[in-house]
Structures are given as structure tokens and as C-alpha cells.
Amino acid sequence: MATTLDKVDVLTVGVGWTGGIVAAECAKSGLKVRGLERGEARGTEDYSMVHDEFRYAIRYELFQNLSRETITFRNNRQMNALPMRMMGSFLLGEGLGGAGTHWNGQNWRFLPYDFEIKSQTEKKYGKDKIGKDFLLQDWGITYDELEPYFTKFEYTAGISGEDTNPFWGKRSKPFPTPPMKKTPILEKFEKATTNLGYHPFMMPSANLSEPYENPDGSTIAACQYCGFCERFGCEYGAKSSAEITVVPTALETGNYDIRYHSNVVEVLKKGNKVTGVRFYDTVTGEEFIQPADVVVLTSYVLNNAKLLMVSNIGEQYDPDTGRGTLGKNYCYQILPGATGFFDDEQFNTYMGAGALGMTIDDFNGDSFDHSKLDFIHGASLSLTQPGLRPIAFNPVPPDTPAWGAEFKKASVHYYTRALSIGGQGASMPYKENYMSLDSTYKDAYGVPLLRLTYNFTDQDRALHKYLSERSAEIMKEMGANTIAPANPLTDYDIVPYQTTHNTGGTVMGNDPAISVVNTWLQHWDAENLFVVGAGNFAHNSGYNPTGTVGALAYRCAEGIIKYSKTGGSLV
Amino acid sequence: MSNEKEKQGVSRRDFLKTTGIATGTLIGGGIIGGLVGYNANKGSGKNEKTGETQQGQNHEINVGLQHFKTMKSFNILSQATERILPEDDLGPGAIVLGVPYFIDNQLAGAYGMNAKEYMQGPFEDGAVTQGYQSRLTRAQIFDQGIAKLEEEAQSRFKKGFEELEPDQMDEILTAFQKGEVKMEAVTSMFFFTLLRQATLEGAYSDPIYNGNRNMEGWKMKGFPGHQYSYAKDIESKEFIEYKPQSISSMTHK
């Protein structure tokens, strides 16, 4: 028998960037907010043993325990979906800060083109540019409308950067802190791309170039370039994350608390409103009902969608009929690139920071003409110096054996003599790529696992090929002796790590026929339910997602505060 | 181009200055907080006590078998890892690095027991793109794989795996890599993938896990391990060789 707790004004399911932002803004406005977090409390003091590649990066110290919950996966509807039994392609976070704790800190605003991708693509290239099986849609909001929220997030996080990129949207304010240090490796990329007529700039970084106090009074330290960002928490408090910014801000108001070890399994709905959530205490096993005036789903993309599905809120997308919106437009990230092997130069590749890099956007969005190309969009191309660690990084030129004497010689030699250009490639929504519930496998609470049906498309393969060729050209200009462009894309494989940039499934828009939430991230079928995160993306852009997620969270918070005064639909 | 001077890395005192803690800009937890409490006003700024005794010496008497029950199994594993990462003029191979002990110890714990993997049935083979679908734990896969290495050695060469010539061992390992050896409830290809990955982990993980003995794996590659900060050197055009340091230096001051 579930115990019913006292009602709160606003409840967030999960406490990472989105849960923290919603909590900070709502608590500041006087609302009583509670966060339910299934993982543990943690903070900077818990990351003091973090310079341990094996424990954190290889054995996944900070990530979800898959023995309790995972997803199932198949490439297409003809296959049986099977559980992702080991972590691989993407890394699901758990605990305070969520995936925002172990991010690299590469912080972008999606392009103006992204938010109006359908209308702009049709206007410029006609209706059939990539075919009707691609479910392109505008986001219902423009870049200009989102601009204040982007700025707000960047000032909360203290992002370090320079506004010299001619291809991105207009910024109302300069970056809060100057760019990171430009290293010899980055200068090499800068010189090569400049020679080729491109427009390099320092990557916007949440590893801060100098100590910073944000508008809420939180302090973020200066990055030490120690080389342990992605898959690690920052032991210096120098990588912006929820637990050093918005969470303390929310707690200081006295209007916020976090209940840890609380695994939400259902959103409770009555009529056109939700009444709260049902959750289990993972320590005691007790079941609870937490009533709330407003429920906000602020967990990871996959779990936000799953909670709506198991709670029967909204209509499940059906690829046969095209009906339903929940689970549609699942996208990923396409990763073109090239590695260069340098015989006569040695680089300090073990030093670095997750977002220490230079980028060009000359082949991103619609910065270049696609009339004669068989794909749309593109990728940001970057050379980053994230700090390469020895277990994961064993670069060898093409045709080198994968083990034995030759492998050892090459991987030891090139550990400090190989550089890579990597693209964050856009991913377009396709009618066969979607999320739904699995009919066989269940989690530790008996709830069905989320089922992912996903494969790369010809659009993805063409984009990947074109951008990998451009990457190889840059690498050549950089003077590499041997160049290995990324292997051609075939089928999506859930085994090797690719990226934790899963998007879609709870798409935003201004038409309930093709979106799950409106442009305030308010659910079309339940006015006091908000769903926010990368799940709102109608497609994935040629950038890392967090900057846009942060902006949407600030927009969502404003919507919740508005809703708590007026009620009803915000649109 | 290599700058041969051995750097000691940034001292704790220098580090406190560069983060802003010494000027009172920041209130830090973690390393910063720990340093302020522990060591901010102490010492010359050099890491006096990062000597080898704290970081992986006395290896021989501190390691042993936690998983394998016989020396024979352990020796087969050892020879197989040595073929994956052999000793050469660049430095030691898997055996001298302690890789076999590392793998044995891992198999006895959460890794070997698949503590963090989803192990609920039903089990089906699935497509390659769907990944690991075996009902076996990694410890079971290693046990079976090692027995199969021995079986292959006997059937191909009428000798134990340990007694084979290096190229004969390579022939067998290649057959595993290609998935040509029949195993139960798992492919030989998957076992080989685990074996290769575990060998690299043992060679290059922090010595606290009983591989990478004396940080020789790191020295070979030029990876300095745990250093507080590279902020002062990140713009250097020279390649810098630091004296490597284990995370155990955090606990053995």
C-alpha cells in the first residue's frame, strides 16, 4: 500500500540540468519545489579520486546500473528487440547532476535554421529534397524567441567563448568569460582551416577559462586542463554542472528539497490533469505517492518518454499509420571525422579539457549550398584536446593489426602523435526510427523497458561521407603523414561508444498533431504536466545538445511560473 | 621534438594559486577543500613523497589469485595476454606489467559477476549490432575461453597452450578473433574481444588495480597519470615528459 506524501507546488522527476534549472527558477519565485532523484547526492567533494580512467571511464562509475533498468534495441521492426545488456553506444547518467555531471562541457546554441528547418529547406530546395519518409518539422519557436533563454543558460554556466563565428545566430550579450587557452594543437587546426578559407573559432566551453560568479551567486572555478572531463565529475568545480550552480541556488531559497533514491515509475493522471507521481524508495523498497500541482519530467530523454508511455499519457507513435506523437522523431548524432598520424611531431595530447577545441561551422546547418548534394544540414567540425587517456586511446594507422607486436608499437608511438577532427553531425527524423515500450523485457520494478528502433539512413550516410572528406582535407593541410577518414556508416551498432546525444520522442511544436508538448514544453493532453530536455528536439542539429537543453529548461521554468498563476493552456 | 627534462607537475601550492583559492575567490570542495585543510601551508611545494614505495612497489608480495583455481589456467591466460601486448624494445609486455593478475582480480569482482549488466532472460543470439546477449558472466566466459585455448592447442599441435611457439599461439588467437572456435553460449570472437580489452585495461589502468606495474605502461606511452594541473604547460610547444603519479598518491601522502 503506497504512502501518500504532502502535496508540493512543483515536482521534478530527476535532478540534472533541467530539473535543477526548473527548481531554481520556480523556488526563487516562491513556489514549493521537490525533486525526486533516483540516484545519490553528490558534489565536488565526491570527485577527488576522479583521475582514474579505469574506474570512471571504463567501469562507468557514474552511470546507470543496467542490472536494474536498461532499454531494448533493434535496427528495424522486422527484428526482435533485445536488451542493451552492457553500456555501449551511449552512457546513461544517474545521480545528482545526471548526464550534466559527466559531460565534456561543449556548449552550443542550435542554429536559427534548425528551428525552422522544414520551411527553410522547402523554400530553398523544394518539397522533395530528402523525401517524405523524413519527418522534418519546424519547432514552433524561432531562434530569436529562444535567444534570451540561451543567454540566461550561458550566464548561469559561465560559458567561455568568443563571438567570432559568422554562421551562428546573433547573440544579445558577449560570452560571460573569455575563451580557453589556445594550444599548439588548436593553432595547427586554426592555421589549416584559415588556409582553406574557413572560419575557425574557439569552442564555447563550460570548462571555465577563469573563476566566475554567476548571477545567482554560485561560483565556478578555473579549469586546470587536467584531462578528465567526459565520464568524470570535476574535482575543482571548474566544469559547470547543476550540482554547483542551479541546485545550490534552489536550495538557498528554502523552497526546495531533493528526495534521493526515489525511482518514479508512473505519472498519475485524472481527466486532463496529472495529480502527481508514484515512486519507490530504492533503499527501503517502500512505495509512495507524491501529489503535486505541477509535474515536470526532467530525467533523461529515454526515461521521459518511457514514463509517458507507461502512464498512458499521449498517443504512441505508429510508423504504419503515422499517427500518434509519443516516441516519434527519435534522432541521434552522426559522427564524421578523420584522424591524422604525424611521424615527426609529438603533442601533449594527454593534457586538455573536455571543451578545449576550435571549430568551423562552414559545413554546418545551411551554411553551404546543398543543391547538388543528396543530404541536408551538416556538422560542426572541431579539433578538440580533451585529454586522451591510455586505455581508451590506442590510435593505429589503417591496416595495422588489432593486437600483437605491430599493434603495440604503433599504438604506443602514435598515442602522442595522432590528432582527430570530429564532426557533431545532424540527425534527421525518419519514420522508422522511434521509441515505444518493449513487450517482453522489464526493469527491476516490473515496468516494461523502453524499446528503441533505430538505424542510420541514406541521408546520414551521405552527410557522414561528405563531412569526413572535408575533415580529411583539413587534416592533410595540417600536415599529417597518414590520414584515416572515419569508416563509412553502415548499420547503427549499439556496442561501441558513439555519443550520449539521444534526442526526440517528446517533440515540441505548435501543432498537437505532430508534437507532444507546446513551445512552453507543456503537455498538450495535460496542462499541468511539463516535459523538458533533448526529447523536445524535432531533429538533432550539428552540435552537442546541452546548450539548447538549458535554454528550453529556462523557457519551461518561465512557463510553469506563468501557469501557476493563470492555469490553462499557455498557448 | 621531446623536452627531456622530467617535470614534477604543478605543486599543490602553485595549484591553489592558479584556481583562485589562494586569493579567496572560491569556496571549493573536493581536491581544493581537501588541500586547504590538509596541506596548504605545508612543505616546499614539491611533491616530496611520490616515490615508488607508495605507488606499486612490492608488487610481488601483494598480488595473488582471487579467481583462477589453478596455475595452469593462470599461465594460459598470461601467455595469451603477452601475445596481445608482447614485450619489445619499447618496454615490458603484459606479463611484466602484471596484466594477468589484473584480469584475475577483476574476474573475482563486479566485472566478473556482471553486477552492473542486465542479465534477465529470455536470451537470444540477436544481431551483431545488438551486442552482448550471452547468459554467461564474464568470469564464466574467461573460464570457458581459457579451457578452449588449451583444447585448441592440444588438437592443433598436440601440446599445451603454454608450451606453444609464439606463432602457434597467434594462430589459435587469430582463430578466436575470427569466431572460428566453437564455444557454448558465447562466440569465441566475443571472448577474444573481452580478452584484448582486458589486456589493454591491465596495461594502462592505475597501478592500484595490480596491473601497469610501476607505471611502466604509462611510462611507455608517455601518460603522466594523476596530475593536479596542466594549466601552466598547456600552451607549451614542446612535448613534456612528467614523472607519472598514481591516484594512490592521494591516500599515501
Same domain, B143 and B41: no
B188 touches chain A (CB under 8 A): no
Question: Distance, in angstroms, between A396 CA and closest chain B CA?
Answer: 13
pLDDT for B61 equals 66
* Stretch 135-164 of chain A: residues touching chain B, C-beta under 8 Å: none
Residue B158 has pLDDT above 60, yes or no: yes
Same domain, B72 and B165: yes
Tell me, yes or no, whether B179 lies in a domain: yes
pLDDT for A46 equals 96
Same domain, B209 and B228: no
Q: For residue A438, which residues of chain B lie inside 8 Å, CB to CB?
A: none
The count of other CB atoms within 10 Å of the CB of residue A253 is 17
Tell me, yes or no, whether A96 lies in a domain: yes
Q: DSSP secondary structure string, B136-190?
A: S-HHHHHHHHHHHHHHHHHHHHSS-GGGS-HHHHHHHHHHHHTT-S--SSS-HHH
Q: DSSP secondary structure string, B42-91?
A: -SSSS-TT--GGGTT-SHHHH---SS-SSHHHHHHHHHHHHHHS--BTTB
Residues B224-233, mean pLDDT to the nearest whole number: 96
* Stretch 49-68 of chain B: residues touching chain A, C-beta under 8 Å: none
Q: Which structural domain range is residue B142 located in?
A: 59-216
A454 touches chain B (CB under 8 A): no
Tell me, yes or no, whether A128 lies in a domain: yes
pLDDT tens digit sequence for A8-39: 999 999 999 999 999 999 999 999 999 999 99
* Stretch 19-38 of chain B: residues touching chain A, C-beta under 8 Å: 19-21, 25-34
Residue A33 to residue A49: CA distance in whole angstroms = 32
pLDDT tens digit sequence for A406-440: 999 999 999 999 999 999 999 999 999 999 999 99
Same domain, B212 and B228: no
Tell me, yes or no, whether B53 lies in a domain: no
Residue A120 has pLDDT above 70, yes or no: yes
Confidence of residue B9 (pLDDT cuts 50, 70, 90): low
Residues A525-552, mean pLDDT to the nearest whole number: 98
Tell me, yes or no, whether A419 lies in a domain: no
Nearest to A181 among B32, B217, B234 (CB): B234
Tell me, yes or no, whether B190 lies in a domain: yes
pLDDT for B29 equals 43
B27 → chain A, closest CA residue? A219
- A416–B222 CB contact, under 8 Å: yes
* Stretch 201-240 of chain B: residues touching chain A, C-beta under 8 Å: 201, 204-206, 208-209, 217-218, 220-231, 233-237, 239-240
Confidence of residue B14 (pLDDT cuts 50, 70, 90): low
- A225–B229 CB contact, under 8 Å: yes
Residue A556 has pLDDT above 60, yes or no: yes
A186 touches chain B (CB under 8 A): no
Q: Please, which residues have CB within 8 angstroms of residue A388's CB and are 6 or more apart in sequence?
A: A227, A349, A350, A352, A415
B116 touches chain A (CB under 8 A): yes
A44 touches chain B (CB under 8 A): yes
Residues B73-84, mean pLDDT to the nearest whole number: 98
Residue A250 to residue A22: CA distance in whole angstroms = 9
CA distances A264 to A22, A456, A517, Å, are 18, 32, 20
pLDDT for A228 equals 97
Tell me, yes or no, whether A288 lies in a domain: yes
- A415–B229 CB contact, under 8 Å: no
Residue A158's domain is classified under what CATH number? 3.50.50.60
pLDDT tens digit sequence for B185-206: 999 999 999 999 999 999 999 9
Tell me, yes or no, whether A223 lies in a domain: yes
- A70–B118 CB contact, under 8 Å: yes
Residue B42 has pLDDT above 50, yes or no: no
pLDDT for A310 equals 98
pLDDT tens digit sequence for A131-148: 999 999 999 999 999 999
A31 touches chain B (CB under 8 A): no
Residue A501 to residue A71: CA distance in whole angstroms = 16
Confidence of residue A455 (pLDDT cuts 50, 70, 90): very high
B102 → chain A, closest CA residue? A54
Cis bond before residue A248 (omega within 30° of 0): no
Question: Distance, in angstroms, between A371 CA and closest chain B CA?
Answer: 34
Same domain, B189 and B233: no
Nearest to A348 among B84, B209, B239 (CB): B239
Residue A369 has pLDDT above 80, yes or no: yes
B106 → chain A, closest CA residue? A59
pLDDT for B41 equals 34
Tell me, yes or no, whether B34 lies in a domain: yes
B167 touches chain A (CB under 8 A): no
Same domain, B134 and B187: yes
Residue A464 has pLDDT above 50, yes or no: yes
A51 touches chain B (CB under 8 A): yes
Q: For residue A350, which residues of chain B lie inside 8 Å, CB to CB?
A: 222-224
Sign of CA dihedral A218, A223, A224, A227: positive
Residue B210 has pLDDT above 90, yes or no: yes
Confidence of residue B28 (pLDDT cuts 50, 70, 90): very low
Confidence of residue B62 (pLDDT cuts 50, 70, 90): confident
pLDDT tens digit sequence for A300-333: 999 999 999 999 999 999 999 999 999 999 999 9
A569 touches chain B (CB under 8 A): no
How large is the ipTM? 0.96
Tell me, yes or no, whether B102 lies in a domain: yes
Q: Which structural domain range is residue A63 located in?
A: 3-180+208-333+429-456+496-566
Q: For residue A60, which residues of chain B lie inside 8 Å, CB to CB?
A: 116
The mean pLDDT of chain A is 98
CA distances A109 to A215, A357, A548, B251, Å, are 20, 16, 5, 42
Same domain, B194 and B235: no
pLDDT for A232 equals 97
State the DSSP code for A81.
Answer: P
Residue B40 has pLDDT above 70, yes or no: no
pLDDT for B86 equals 98
- B122–A394 CB contact, under 8 Å: no
Residue B51 has pLDDT above 60, yes or no: no
Residue B147 has pLDDT above 80, yes or no: yes
- B205–A53 CB contact, under 8 Å: yes
pLDDT for A505 equals 98
Sign of CA dihedral B232, B237, B238, B240: positive
Percent of chain A whose predicted confidence (pLDDT) is above 90: 100
Same domain, B119 and B182: yes
Confidence of residue A225 (pLDDT cuts 50, 70, 90): very high
Task: Report how many domains make up chain A.
Answer: 1
Residue B44 has pLDDT above 60, yes or no: no
pLDDT tens digit sequence for B100-141: 999 999 999 999 999 999 999 999 999 999 999 999 999 999
- B116–A223 CB contact, under 8 Å: no
Same domain, B75 and B10: no
Catalytic residue numbers of A? Answer: 501
Residue B176 to residue A416: CA distance in whole angstroms = 31
pLDDT for B58 equals 55
Same domain, B29 and B67: no
- A390–B217 CB contact, under 8 Å: yes
pLDDT for A207 equals 98
pLDDT for B17 equals 54
Q: For residue B208, which residues of chain A lie inside 8 Å, CB to CB?
A: 52
Residue A33 to residue A140: CA distance in whole angstroms = 28
Q: End-to-end distance of chain A based on CA atoms, in angstroms? A: 39
pLDDT for B252 equals 80
- A45–B230 CB contact, under 8 Å: no
Confidence of residue B83 (pLDDT cuts 50, 70, 90): very high
- What are A458's three cell numbers? 541514406
B130 touches chain A (CB under 8 A): yes
Q: For residue A479, which residues of chain B lie inside 8 Å, CB to CB?
A: none
B1 touches chain A (CB under 8 A): yes
A46 → chain B, closest CA residue? B30
Tell me, yes or no, whether B28 lies in a domain: yes
Same domain, B206 and B189: yes
Residue B23 has pLDDT above 70, yes or no: no
Residues A342-367, mean pLDDT to the nearest whole number: 97
Task: Report how many domains make up chain B.
Answer: 2
Contact A537, A507 (CB under 8 A): yes
Same domain, B17 and B138: no
